[in-house]
Structure 1
Amino acid sequence: MSTNAQRAGWVITALVTLFLGFDIVTHLLRVGPVTDFNDKIGAPDWFPVVCGAVLGLSLIAYHLPATRAMGTVLITAYLGGAVTVNLVFGQPAFNTVFAIATAVLVWAGAWPRDERLRGLVTA
């Protein structure tokens, strides 16, 4: 891939990391909107912390070259779960579209930077 594509990948990765990092912190600290939604869906009290930890570990894997492909897939799976919860509990369409867009951006950030990841899809 061209260096411009790789630079774009890094910029997208940085933006996605900022958003996901914020999401991780809100879950680990159990801020009001997170616990309110958790109560709304009837999940156990520990659920947001586990979600934050899983997403945090997946984000770390996303940044390490040796585990980038796995991290990309894990974050995509996590966001797929978010889409499912949003649909099942009748959340606004924006929430679902935002989770899907974030997953697309996760791939858009990793794709130009990792030849092995491209090989998994094009092989």
Structure 2
Amino acid sequence: MSTNARRAGWVITVLVTLFLAFDAITHLLRVDAVMDFNDKVGAPAWFPVVCGAVLGLSLIAYHLPSTRAMGTVLITAYLGGAVTVNLVFGQPAFNTVFAIAVAVLVWAGAWPRDERLRALVAA
């Protein structure tokens, strides 16, 4: 991959990381908006904390070179769960499209920076 592609990957990664870290923190801190949605879908009160921890740990894995591929897949799976919840509970289409777009950006950020990730998909 070219240097420009790697730089673009880093820019995308930083932007995606800022958003996902914010999301993880709001879940861990159980902010009102998170808890309101949690109540709306009928999830147990502990659920946002687990979601925040899973996302936070996946995000850390995404940034470590040795676990980047696994972190990329785990974040994609997490966002797949968000898509499912949005569809099942009739959330606005934007919410579903946004979760899919973030998953695509997670891959777009990692792809040019990780030869093993490219090999995993090409295999």
Give the TM-score band, short-chain normalised. Answer: over 0.9
TM-superposed CA distance for 1:101, in Å, is 0.1
Letter in 1 for 2:74: L
Q: Deviations over 1:26-47 (max 9, x none)?
A: 1001011100000000000000
Partner residue of 1:63?
A: 63
Partner residue of 1:77?
A: 77
Partner residue of 2:103?
A: 103
Instruction: Detail structure 1 runs of 4+ shifted over 6 Å in the superposition.
Output: none
Distance 2:57 2:103 in 1: 16
Q: What do you get for the CA RMSD once the two structures are aligned? A: 0.3
TM-superposed CA distance for 1:52, in Å, is 0.1
TM-superposed CA distance for 1:120, in Å, is 0.5
TM-superposed CA distance for 1:100, in Å, is 0.1
Unaligned runs of 5+ in 2: none
Partner residue of 1:24?
A: 24
Letter in 1 for 2:65: P
Counting matched residue pairs gives 123
Q: Secondary structure of the residue that 1:82 maps to in structure 2? A: helix
TM-score by length of 2: 0.99
5 Å-filtered alignment, 1:43-54, equals 43-54=43-54
Partner residue of 2:116?
A: 116
TM-superposed CA distance for 1:103, in Å, is 0.1
Q: Secondary structure of the residue that 2:90 maps to in structure 1? A: coil
TM-superposed CA distance for 1:63, in Å, is 0.1
Q: Deviations over 1:11-60 (max 9, x none)?
A: 00000000001001110010111000000000000000000000000000
Q: Deviations over 1:96-115 (max 9, x none)?
A: 00000000000000000000
Q: Percent identity?
A: 89
TM-score by length of 1: 0.99
Letter in 2 for 1:117: L
Distance 1:74 1:97 in 2: 19
Letter in 1 for 2:50: V
